[in-house]
Structure 1
Amino acid sequence: MEKSVSVSDSDGSTFTPLVAIELAEDIKEEAVAWLLNRIKDKQQQAGADLLVDQLPREGLSDKKGNPNIFIVGATWLRLLYGAEEVGLVKEFNDGSMRGFTYANKENFKSFQGDGDGFLSIAECQYIIKHELDTLRAKEETHVPGYTQVKLYPGKSITRRMQSKGIMIQIFPLHMKEDLKRLSLSWYQKVKLSFQPLDDIRQYFGESLALYFGFLEYFTLALVPMAFFGIPYYLFDWESYDKYVLFAVFNLLWSTVILEVWKRNSASLAYGWGTLSRKKAFEEPRPGFHGVLGLNPVTGREEPVFPYTRRQLRMYLVSVPFVLLCLYLSLYVMMIYFDMEVWALGLHQEEPTLWSSLLLYVPSIIYAVVIEVMNRLYRYAAEFLTEWENHRLESSHQNHLILKVLVFNFLNCFASLFYIAFVMQDIVLLRQSLATLLITSQVLNQIMEAFLPYWLQKRRNKKVHTRNQKSLAEQELPLSEQVRLEADMNTYLGTFDDYLELFLLFGYVSLFSCVYPLAALLVVLNNVTEVYSDALKMCKVFKRPFSEPAADIGVWQLAFETMSVISVVTNCALIGMSPHMKAYFPESETQLILLVVAVEHVLLAFKFFLAFVIPDIPKQIQIKLARLEFQSLEALKKRKMLEVASGIPNKS
């Protein structure tokens, strides 16, 4: 852990600043004093027992800016107790992964002295964020100076202040030396090697490390598809019948890679201590609102929102809106086909080089329109999901993902399904797939990598005219560094990154048998994606808080669903091949029945593979079972000692 920069709080305690809190510029002084006291108060007084100091205004060239920025840290003793409180899992001396306890700290591997270096920076910042989020109201009925901002006993103070705009943001600070080392090993040198996933996890946390792990795994898994696709493309361009073998390979590939990934992610999560980590009690979202009522689980008074009212909003507003958007997407698709007919007609009337190029214009325009519609719909889906007022962040994210996936799937793939199974035009299908894939990749790289980086560079130059170097390359005063980071874009999570990979997986698994170069294009895209995403995380976005994760969550189900759909699609494409139709010249019904039968056999085989390939490797299952057995034995011994000593059993 880097400790080159340290500050002192009002009591004279020196600490390393780990987290910054930005309050509203016009916040009332009594609210600031009250909040700081609650942050610094001991836990026995219902405080967070953290160290906090106001950021000095030195380094501002124009003497403007928000003065209400505070930096937060903690003593090592407080962080170690916090590690036990949040349930961090660390490696024990016997090699097993166990929940950390302060009383047993000396038996954990890598624990030396006072524990300095035992916790990663990301874990320390996560602990501080947890303590701030769980800073709860006591007898206060409202935030001092804001009678309209009600407080409820036992509910989070910081979440309430964030939802009311009194607290603008809480963000973890970059550590410049650590960031330089990570950047050097991650993206600053182009090299053929695996990503430093352990270093990424140490700096950004498990959730982001799992995303980059999946991106790397997906890219490597595409290499066999790309390897076989190149000769198919070069030598069998006009022979569609020979793509049957490629389609069968596609089916097996899409199943096996997802099952193997679950094993890989389990191994990563076990080594990082998140596979066996107990799920923490989930707090309500900052944006959740409702009338004051009684929580049936905790028994505390808090805002509640009627379940029936939320369901009415979902089924009477959200669902009809999503259906309307799907209809508009299909309508735009039909306009695209009209453009294709128009371009083809011009080319057939007078074939020239320009008319040949014109054949690709409708697909390019349609690909751009698809990207625009996806982004516009995303904003609408976020607004609707927020309006539905889900209490928990997990529920909010699941409903948002479902809305976005349904629309993106139809918007991106409906035209390809129509061309393949209604028009049955393999040449147009190949052309459309190639154009959509290439155009979407180019647009994504511009919108997600180049544009944010360019905007951040301009913002840096505008705010810090005397030094135009990037954050990772310069030595800035602490105050200027924190203000620079406060002005950075906020990383909104891995949602968009997984969505992009989901769509690319769809292009490859659904239709790559008619365009075998699809896998190669996705490999090239993913290689550039690794570097562009790494650059964004280190230079463009604020450092995100670590999020414990044992897998990729609901996205695993999304990819598996796409894999099931690919079985149906590839079987239908095989059945459409002239080579297959030649075997059933008189009865198309027999061909259809055969295709359906083969599809069911392949689906059964797919689910059989999913069953026989364990999600968690055997050796990790044994370690988890042994740890559970040891925990039960320790609990039994403790109860026996309590009974023998006459101590009443509190459980």
Structure 2
Amino acid sequence: AAEMEPSSGWDGPTFQPLVVLELASNTPQEAVAWLLSRIRDGAGDDFLSMAECQYIIKHQLEALRAKDETHVPGYSQAKLYPGKSIIRRLQSKGILVQMFPLHDKEELKRLSFSWYRTVRLSLQPLDAIRRYFGEGQALYFGFLEYFTIALLPMAVLGVPYYLFDWENYDKYVLFAVFNLVWCTVLLEVWKRYSATLAYCWGTLSRKKAFEEPRPGFHGVLGLNPVTGRKEPVFPSVSRQLRIYLVSLPFVLLCLYLSLYVMMIYFQLEGWALSVYDEDPTLWTEVLTYIPSIVYAVVIEAVNLLYRYAAEFLTEWENHRRESSYQNHLVLKVLVFNFFNCFASLFYIAFVMQDMLLLRQSLATLLITSQVLNQLMEAFLPYWLQRRRNKKMIRKVLRRRAIEEKELPLAEQVRLEADMSTYLGTFDDYLELFLLFGYVSLFSCIYPLAAVLVVLNNITEVYSDAFKMCKLFKRPFADPAGSIGVWQLAFETISVIAVVTNCALIGMSPQVKAYFPESATQLILWTVAVEHLLLGFKFILAFLIPDVPKHIRVKLAQIEFESLEALKKKVKHLLVVFKLHRKGSEA
């Protein structure tokens, strides 16, 4: 963080900015002086030591809590009480406009050239991404890259399968069997790969047992029985009541509304098909695709609205730890998005049993969602940010009457302050989760799904890299040893994929031919095979260690060396104590 007196220069040789805190233009001087004094008190003398980084600065700022203050100096309406987050209150009252770390122009330029500015067949520079943006962002790009590479075998198999057998919608047994093996092996190999990355980055054994209260957490000031420190306390019973009496009914209501919208879609689909049957022309054939396209757009819009509602509810539940907040938010969003995006496909596949309509609906949903995501995530932010940047740079050049490309520090701060704020990897992982669902659940019916996802992921790598480097403020580093709760989300959908693909295999004409007289026997055999495959999947997950053997050996060596060092320290202290005791006796 940087603190400056009004007389100090922005471009002086001793000024080394790390994090910017932008206060409202009309902030009274007494409020500024009070905030600076609290930052100094909360930071200590080593606030800007060589070992600290932007993440530590953010952590220190968010840990600032009110003590005996009743309000923010100069703002009588900004009430404070013991334990209240100071930064959170300043943000909610509009006193603190924003807080962000500055980009390092030279390092960012080197990262850009090795990442997205040059088209190359090599892998992403994950180590450089990790050094600049942190482990959380690097693991996301690592998973995106790994997921794309893992899709290549399915894409290669899917193209000839689709081209030479596109009219036979029922010949999908081979592809479904491959799907079963693929979605099982994919996640097991990723866990080992991510453990290797986390070990190299030093975050594999990162513990969160003593996680600090999140900035949005509020409560009365109490004593933490573990740490012995004073911090906000909120009754767990009150939180559980909010979850089960408000949040859960709201989620169920949203699921019901989603089901109602799905029924309207099927009515429109039936109407369009009846029009085509009465008058099979080119226009009526195009009409049959309209309900699916409209439904796909509605799904994206409803998912966005629900996301805001889920964030509000999870914030209102007042979770103490950031990890707990994220877990509850992810659960709410995933349950609704999974139901909203896949319920219609399950209905078509297992109730209507219309494989032609299933293929058409899957293709329409997948293509429409990808087009909308690219528009919303890449082109629209790029266009808006380019307009803002050009306007800001013109103002800077006109005011300072310079033509050089390198902006002074003060102007760089103003330019970056106008950039969009990076909201984290939540939406990126959610998009990959839905794409993984489309591929693993029903791609045997539409083999080109893997091809479309590969193309989407390749453009996603470049668009996300460009946004991170050019359109967004630099995010605070997010130390992480894995992709967290998203690993469980992907594993859950892989289990559902086993059930789905087994059911589709059982419904295929090739398998039904072996049971011409007994549908019950076919169902029993399908369920038995599905249970065997699930058992094999869980056994495979148990037998394959999540951490490679050579890394486990290195971790054991580190632990052994730590214990040996501790023993030597204890022996040294005992020798010093004995010498001191002998000296006292003499």
2:50 corresponds in structure 1 to 79
Instruction: State whether structure 2 residue 1 is matched by structure 1 residue 30.
Output: no
TM-score, normalised to structure 1, is 0.83
State the alpha-carbon separation in 1 of the partners of residues 237 and 20 from structure 2.
Answer: 39
Residue 540 of structure 1 pairs with residue 471 of structure 2: yes
Q: Give a deviation string over 1:422-441, Cα, whole Å, max 9, x none.
A: 00000000000000000000
For residues 167 and 48 of structure 1, what CA distance do their matches in structure 2 show? 22
What does residue range 81-160 of structure 1 map to in structure 2 within 5 Å?
A: 82=52, 124-134=53-63, 143-146=72-75, 149-150=79-80, 152=82, 157-159=86-88
**How many Å apart are 1:454 and its aligned residue?**
1.2
For the Cα contact (< 8 Å) 1:182–1:199, is it kept in 2?
yes
**What is the SS of the residue equivalent to 1:465?**
helix
Q: CA deviation at 1:202?
A: 1.2
* Alpha-carbon displacement from aligned partner over 1:259-290 (angstroms, at most 9, x marks no partner): 00011111111111111334473222222223
CA distance in 2, matches of 1:385, 1:641: 52
Per-residue deviation at 1:485? 1.1
> 1:380: how far off?
0.9
Matched with 1:490 is 421
Deviation at 1:642, TM superposition (A): 1.4
Gaps of 5+ in 1: 1-6, 52-73, 83-123
Partner of 1:630: 561
Shift of 1:452: 1.1
* Residue number in structure 1 paired with 2:301: 372
Is 2:206–2:480's contact at 8 Å kept on the other side of the alignment? no
Equivalent residue, structure 1, for 2:243: 314
CA deviations 1:290-340 (Å, max 9, x no partner) are 334443434444432222222121111111111111011111111111111
SS at match of 2:212: coil
* Residue pair 2:319, 2:325 contacting (<8 A) in 1 also: yes
Is residue 580 from structure 1 mapped to residue 511 from structure 2 by the alignment? yes
Mapping 1:100-249, distance limit 5 Å:
124-134=53-63, 143-146=72-75, 149-150=79-80, 152=82, 157-159=86-88, 161-162=90-91, 164-249=93-178
Query: How far apart in 1 are the matches of 2:113 and 2:541?
Result: 39
| Counterparts of 1:157 and 1:323, CA distance in 2 | 36
Q: Give the CA deviation at 1:183.
A: 1.3
Give the whole-Å Cα distance in 2 for the aligned partners of 1:241 and 1:329: 29
> Residue 513 in 1 paired to residue 484 in 2?
no
Q: Residue 99 of structure 2: SS of its match in structure 1?
A: strand
Distance in 2 (CA, whole Å) between partners of 1:293 and 1:523 is 52
User: 1 or 2, which has the higher helix percentage?
Assistant: 2
Secondary structure at the aligned position of 2:394 is classed as coil
1:317 is matched by which residue type in structure 2? V
Kept after mapping to 2: 8 A contact 1:48/1:131: no
1:270 alignment partner, SS class: helix
Distance in 2 (CA, whole Å) between partners of 1:519 and 1:175 is 38
Is the CA contact (8 Å cut-off) linking 1:20 and 1:170 kept in structure 2?
A: yes
Asked if 1:288 corresponds to 2:217, the answer is yes
Aligned to 1:441: 370
Shift of residue 358, structure 1, vs aligned partner: 1.2
Asked which structure has the greater RCO (Cα within 8 Å, sep 6+), the reply is 2
> Does the aligned pair in 2 maintain the 1:143–1:151 contact within 8 Å?
no
Partners of 1:38 and 1:48 within 8 A in 2: no
* C-alpha contact 1:151 1:157 (8 A) present in aligned 2: no
Q: 3-state SS of the aligned residue for 2:218? A: coil
Residues 1:466 and 1:150: Cα distance change in structure 2 (over 3 Å): closer
The question of whether the paired residues in 2 share the 8 Å contact of 1:210 and 1:265 is answered with yes
Amino acid at match of 2:205: S
Task: Give the C-alpha shift of residue 613 in structure 1.
Answer: 1.5
- Two-structure CA RMSD over aligned residues (Å): 2.4
Rate the CA distance shift 1:276–1:301 in 2: closer, same or farther, 3 A.
Answer: closer
Closer, same or farther in 2 for the Cα pair 1:625/1:160, shift >3 Å? farther
1:137–1:156 contact (8 Å) kept in structure 2: yes
Mean CA deviation greater in 163-172 or 374-383: 163-172
Q: In the alignment, is the contact (CA less than 8 A) between 1:364 and 1:436 conserved in 2?
A: yes
Is this contact kept in 2: 1:162–1:286, CA < 8 A? no
Partner of 1:464, secondary structure, is helix
> Which digits, 9 at most, give the CA deviation of each residue in 1:120-143, with x for residues without a partner?
xxxx32233334344566776654
Q: Deviations over 1:475-532 (max 9, x none)?
A: 1121111111112111111000000000000000000011111000000000000011
SS in structure 1 of the partner of residue 22 of structure 2: strand
Task: Write the letter of the residue equivalent to 1:25.
Answer: S
- Secondary structure (helix, strand or coil) at the match of 2:232 reads strand
CA–CA distance in structure 2, aligned partners of residues 567 and 437 of structure 1: 21
Contact 2:396/2:411 (8 A) holds in 1:
no
Q: 1:647: how far off?
A: 8.0
**Cα distance, 1:631 vs structure 2:** 0.6
Are positions 1:619 and 2:573 aligned together? no
Distance 1:600 1:608 in 2: 12
Distance 1:34-1:196 versus aligned 2 partners, 3 A rule: same
Whole-angstrom CA distance in 1 between matches of 2:68 and 2:564: 42
Distance 2:266 2:397 in 1: 49
Which of 475, 497, 502 is matched with 1:571 structurally? 502
* Distance (Å, rounded) in 2 between the aligned partners of 1:388 and 1:37: 32
Matched residue SS, 1:564:
helix
